[in-house]
Amino acid sequence: MTALKLLTGLEYSRYGLSGHGRKQQWFRFILILCMVVIAASYLLSKNTAPRAPFISGSLLIWILSSNFSMLHMLREPYAGHKAWLLTFPHPRRLLVTAKALSMLRFSGNFALLILLAESAVYFVLVQSGYYAPLSTNEWLITMLAHAAFAICILPVSIVFGLASSLFKSSLPVLGVIPYLLLWLLPFMVLPFVNAPILGWYDYKYSSAPYVLFYTLAVLLFGWPAAWLLLKRIAGHGMTALERPRYARERRVQASGRITRAHKTSGHPSGFAALYQLDSSRLRQWGGLKSVQAAKVCIPLGLAVLFCWLSTSSTDPLPLIPMLFVVPTLGATMWMMMRSSFERKQLIWWLSFPQSRLRLLLSSIASVWVAASRVNVVLGLSALAGLLTGPLFSEKTHFPLAESLQWLLFSFLTYTLVLTLALGLLQISYYFMKSKVLALLMLPLYVLIPFQQAFVKNVILHEPLVSSVLPDYSRLGLVALIGLPVATLSVLVGAQYMYTQLAVNADNDAALRTDSL
């Protein structure tokens, strides 16, 4: 057995699949497939073309695989086996290649699931009368073209996620912003693909022959670029693992901040101190030079864009909800990744003399406030552009009052969606209680990229045009139903926060067993 094969198997064992029987794995696969098909059949737009499920599936494969590898690499400096891994008598390039191959193998599992779900959703919507059926040959060509594209794009997406390790080592400031834009691009494109008013799903550039052309381009240019990037990750990204994290010192400092907050704030509950501690983790990312540059460039760019839209013949309404998609989606994904980042700190965190509900609420509040601040800044930037546009031109093609109403409605909508998503994600602690309930975690996480589809199908319901005013009654109905469910999820999740410790112990035990 070669060293690469051995290291790949060791890395793959960390994902917790090797300890399950084949029958149990097939049962999970079929159950999750059914859940994904049911959810996608409801969330995807109905008044589109038959190729829309296949395009959405390809984007979803990129989103899941790239974010999976990104999550893995960002949590690696906090892993307990970090020092042991670096003692292996193998070059860094071999270690990174083993990581990439293990992630490729794992990502292939849910890529296969999504490819099967694409065809299943297509047949469900055809039988429901929403799509005109394709001919057998056309359906087969479309399915095979997107399957080939998914297979070719997986290695690129894995390496793209691994490149997040270059953030604090060698990636220049001007390189971080394009990286983040490329990371956000699939999230932005996914709702547009399913927007009937735009018709992107029916362009000739999204047909099967063009998909095959894109596949060839990925093979010729994407794979060599990924290989070169993998070399750079091995040379520079892995250095982050070699640097001491001083976790003990940071915990002592954090405990000191909590003690001082108890003495000065006068609040016996200490919730303010917990909130400050949680917020300090996010402020560490806000201090990066690339983030500081984005704080200036993005609001100015949005103000200029909406200033131009307010005086041009292009309707600004379809772009207004998109302002709040990225912060809302980013906040929910950050909440999903927190449990992986904080594996080593969870025992220390649960030892605080505070109730688990306060601990959970402080983490939710810190993420909610950070995302809401970004939404406020983006909304004010768009507002400034809409108000200053008429000052430069007396001719406006669209009523300003309607644009302002939709801006307010969109902000309230995504604030509600953010609140519901952060609350519902806490039920994952309860799902960790047993292996059967753990099956529900993947559908819950898979539905996160479909937030925009939920907003469009449930809350907005109609295309945004100037002649239609926002329907606040629909927003109120969603809040009336969703907020109690989210509150219940938080209450239940707080009671089962300890289950993460059992999952961590099982994963570490499986890793040690497979390494022997």
**267 is a domain residue:** no
The confidence band for 114, taking pLDDT boundaries of 50, 70 and 90, is: confident
205 and 312 assigned to the same domain:
no
The token pair at 194 is 């399913």
Using alpha carbons only, give the angle 121, 214, 456 rounded to the nearest 5 degrees: 40
215 and 356 assigned to the same domain:
no
Q: Of 196, 228, 250, which one is at a domain's C-terminal end? A: 250
**154 is a domain residue:** yes
235 and 300 assigned to the same domain:
no
**327 is a domain residue:** yes
Number of domains in the chain: 2
> Is pLDDT of 386 > 70?
yes
**283 is a domain residue:** no
Interval 309-314 mean pLDDT: 74
Report CA 371 to chain centroid distance, whole Å. Answer: 14
Flag the least confident range among 5-14, 77-86, 136-145, 256-265: 256-265
> Is pLDDT of 165 > 70?
yes
Task: Judge whether 362 and 352 are in contact, CB under 8 Å.
Answer: no
109 and 167 assigned to the same domain:
yes
Amino acid letter, residue 19: G
The confidence band for 13, taking pLDDT boundaries of 50, 70 and 90, is: confident
Burial of 308 (0-12, 13-18, 19+ CB in 10 A): middle
pTM above 0.85, yes or no: no
Exposure class string for 178-200: b at 16+ Cβ within 10 A, else e? ebbeebeebbeebbebbbbeeeb
Q: Of 250, 277, 307, which one is at a domain's C-terminal end? A: 250
Report CA 350 to chain centroid distance, whole Å. Answer: 26
Using alpha carbons only, give the angle 377, 379, 383 rounded to the nearest 5 degrees: 115
Which of 119, 116, 118 has its CA nearest to residue 136? 119
**264 is a domain residue:** no
**269 is a domain residue:** no
Measure the CA–CA gap between 174 and 161, rounded to whole angstroms.
Answer: 18
> Is pLDDT of 387 > 50?
yes
Task: Judge whether 465 and 317 are in contact, CB under 8 Å.
Answer: yes
369 and 488 assigned to the same domain:
yes
Per-chain mean pLDDT for the chain? 75
The confidence band for 148, taking pLDDT boundaries of 50, 70 and 90, is: very high
> Which range, 57-61, 285-289, 316-320, 343-347, is most confident?
57-61
153 and 297 assigned to the same domain:
no
Which of 377, 384, 403, 433 has its CA nearest to residue 319? 403
Q: Could you tell me which residues come within 8 angstroms of residue 416 by beta carbon, excluding any fewer than 6 positions away?
A: 475, 478, 479, 482
What pLDDT score does 380 carry? 92
380 and 503 assigned to the same domain:
yes
The confidence band for 515, taking pLDDT boundaries of 50, 70 and 90, is: very low
Which of 105, 114, 104 has its CA nearest to residue 58? 114
222 and 293 assigned to the same domain:
no
Q: Could you tell me which residues come within 8 angstroms of residue 421 by beta carbon, excluding any fewer than 6 positions away?
A: 328, 331, 332, 335, 448, 451
Burial of 501 (0-12, 13-18, 19+ CB in 10 A): middle
Measure the CA–CA gap between 262 and 256, rounded to whole angstroms.
Answer: 10
Task: Judge whether 116 and 60 are in contact, CB under 8 Å.
Answer: no
Task: Judge whether 161 and 228 are in contact, CB under 8 Å.
Answer: no
**272 is a domain residue:** no
329 and 474 assigned to the same domain:
yes
Interval 386-404 mean pLDDT: 75
224 and 335 assigned to the same domain:
no
242 and 292 assigned to the same domain:
no
317 and 389 assigned to the same domain:
yes
Q: Of 250, 276, 311, which one is at a domain's C-terminal end? A: 250
Give me the percent of the chain exceeding a pLDDT of 70.
69
Task: Judge whether 77 and 233 are in contact, CB under 8 Å.
Answer: no
**276 is a domain residue:** no
Range of the domain at 55: 3-250
